A = this chain, B = another copy of it.
Amino acid sequence: MTSVLVCDDSPLAREALRRAVATVPGVERVTTAANGEEVLRRWGADRSDLILMDVRMPGLGGVETVRRLLSADPGARIIMLTVAEDLDGVALAVAAGARGYLHKDASRAELRATVTQALADPTWRLAPRRLRSAEMGATPTLTAREIQVLEGMSHGRSNAEIGRELFLSEDTVKTHARRLFKKLGASDRAHAVALGFRWGLVR
């Protein structure tokens, strides 16, 4: 029974990862956790063959979780996940005993290849790879205009105000809005803003 534990605090990324990992040949079960504490709890109950874990998590951070996990079970295989702009945590995690890491902007295929390899070879270590975040569960790709409109929304501006700001007619803003809603799967602007934050499209 080959099982993999996926841990990421972003529900969206978590689901995307879960789905991607589930397609790896040989993987029969994928469990998920939202933070380090949850990983440790699950690990106490039933041990997975491999753990994919985000470096940056609220609560117990990735690095410390790796330490605790390995002090409990030195054989645990852990691969860290990271966004492009967070290389220090990865280095620390690998130094702490993680087997390797994956950039979140790597391809789904690379993710699967890495997981396959890690599962096949218990001694596997490192070999960094990339993966386009667009492919790790379809991160929505917004155009520059759409992001500008989304940002305007996140600052509480009306369509008319956004239009004035960007020298566009309100109707044009509405068009961009409708298109970005569709891309994000948002039902309204509040939802769109939330998804923008969850996907890291706006801050």
Contacts and interface: CB of A to CB of B under 8 A. Distances in A.
Interface residues of A, number: 35
Contacts of A41: none
A47 to B, nearest CB: 22
B156 A194 contact: yes
Contact of A193 (B87, B157, B190, B203): B190
A104 to B, nearest CB: 12
A85 B57 CA distance: 9
Residue from A58, A59, A153, A193 with most neighbouring chain B CB atoms (10 Å): A193
Contacts of A154: 190-191, 193-194
A83 interface: yes
A188 interface: yes
A160 interface: no
Given A56-B56, A92-B63, A92-B92, A190 B156 contact: yes
Interface in A118-157: 153-157
Interface in A174-203: 186-194, 197-198, 202-203
Nearest to A188: B156
A16 interface: no
Closest 6 CB pairs of A and B: A156-B191, A64-B88, A156-B187, A154-B194, A189-B190, A59-B85
